[in-house]
Structure 1
């Protein structure tokens, strides 16, 4: 059987590649990483959202090709239910899907103001006004989930789809020194110390410091 592949872009800059990679690892899929060539004009158009479709990350597994992070998540949940990507309880599962979908389709101002850069650190960073409501909404989501399900992860004792979706936000909050209360800071630190995230971050540290002319977060 042909080994699965996961096409990804920059490990330092690509939040969507990180999400797809985490989901596949959480599901126990053994795959080969296929990095895109960031110097390819077609790839750059895709990453800059100038292409009509965005096909990274892209998973090829057992003859199935699936792209878009939420589609990858649903596929992984179907083939590996034991991984617990979605909670067992129906109402809790719906909540997990809702907050994950909100991350998938929203928070554009946050993405623009605080682009992912795992290696960077700012002791102080002035967040422009338009991104502040996004940050406050994420604080509300995290507080509600941790308060309702008891932590330490958003939906209880084990990481789920939601934690994979918000992992890049944890990185951004560290990079740009976003203020969090102790409970939310503890959650951020838990995600950043997650062995899967640490593995990704270690690879990110070996990449070039910047991608020239890439001005839109991807």
Structure 2
């Protein structure tokens, strides 16, 4: 399989399926395509002509393209049932799917105002009311899951849900909003997870820059 991803410093969507493949030891070839270039879309289509030209995109052994981070995650869970990508317990699995879908479709204020830039540091900036409301909701999700399932990750063991929220942890580390100790501890835990740490290390060592994402007005 091949996974087409964007730059590790910026591409929150790419981070999610990459973490799942790495964490669960599923073999794949990584294809890095720089974001915000005139040829970005064409480069994706060259690998996956039957897709929309977006990343991340997983190309399976049969050459089929699966795009969108949550669709890739669901595909991996279906094709590798020996790994608990979703929690095994049906009730926990339903909840994990719900909070993953909420992350996938929501939190627009956080996304727009606190973008992912692992190499940057913008402490205390862009803490607008809508952003703070998104953060409060995320903290509630994290606290409820950690309390219910006992940690160390949202449903005990690392799962798709943690991969979906890992880019949020990267945002929090960059923008440093005020967080509860529970949330801070979960961010630290995620950043120490080997696959997450490997992604961060790659982002820190990369020199490709997108100027407008490296500045905070």
| TM-score bin, normalised by smaller chain | 0.7 to 0.9
**How well do the aligned residues superpose, as a CA RMSD in angstroms?**
2.3
| 2-structure distance, mates of 1:151, 1:37 | 35
Equivalent residue of 2:104, what SS? helix
User: Structure 1's 166 and 198: CA in aligned 2 closer, same or farther, altered over 3 A?
Assistant: same
| 2-structure distance, mates of 1:97, 1:5 | 25
2:13 to 11, 16, 30: 16
Structure 1: tracts of 5 or more residues without a match: 46-51
Q: Is 1:125 aligned to residue 122 of structure 2?
A: no
| 1-structure distance, mates of 2:208, 2:61 | 36
1:41 to 38, 43, 46: 38
Write out the 4+ residue segments of structure 1 that deviate beyond 6 Å after TM superposition. none
> Given the two structures, how large is their TM-score scaled by the length of structure 2?
0.87
| 1-structure distance, mates of 2:126, 2:211 | 23
Deviation, structure 1 residue 60? 1.0
- State the partner residue of 1:171: 170
| 2-structure distance, mates of 1:111, 1:28 | 29
Structure 2: tracts of 5 or more residues without a match: 43-50
Equivalent residue of 1:82, what SS? coil
Deviation, structure 1 residue 211? 0.6
Q: What do residues 95-119 of structure 1 show as CA deviations (whole Å, max 9, x unaligned)?
A: 0000000000111110011000111
Q: Is 1:208 aligned to residue 207 of structure 2?
A: yes
| 1-structure distance, mates of 2:23, 2:182 | 24
Q: What do residues 62-113 of structure 1 show as CA deviations (whole Å, max 9, x unaligned)?
A: 1132111111111111122222111111111000000000000111110011
User: Structure 1's 15 and 54: CA in aligned 2 closer, same or farther, altered over 3 A?
Assistant: farther
1:27, 1:76 within 8 Å by CA — same for their partners in 2? no
Q: Aligned residues, how many?
A: 207
> Given the two structures, how large is their TM-score scaled by the length of structure 1?
0.87
| 1-structure distance, mates of 2:123, 2:37 | 34
User: Structure 1's 150 and 39: CA in aligned 2 closer, same or farther, altered over 3 A?
Assistant: closer
- State the partner residue of 2:182: 183
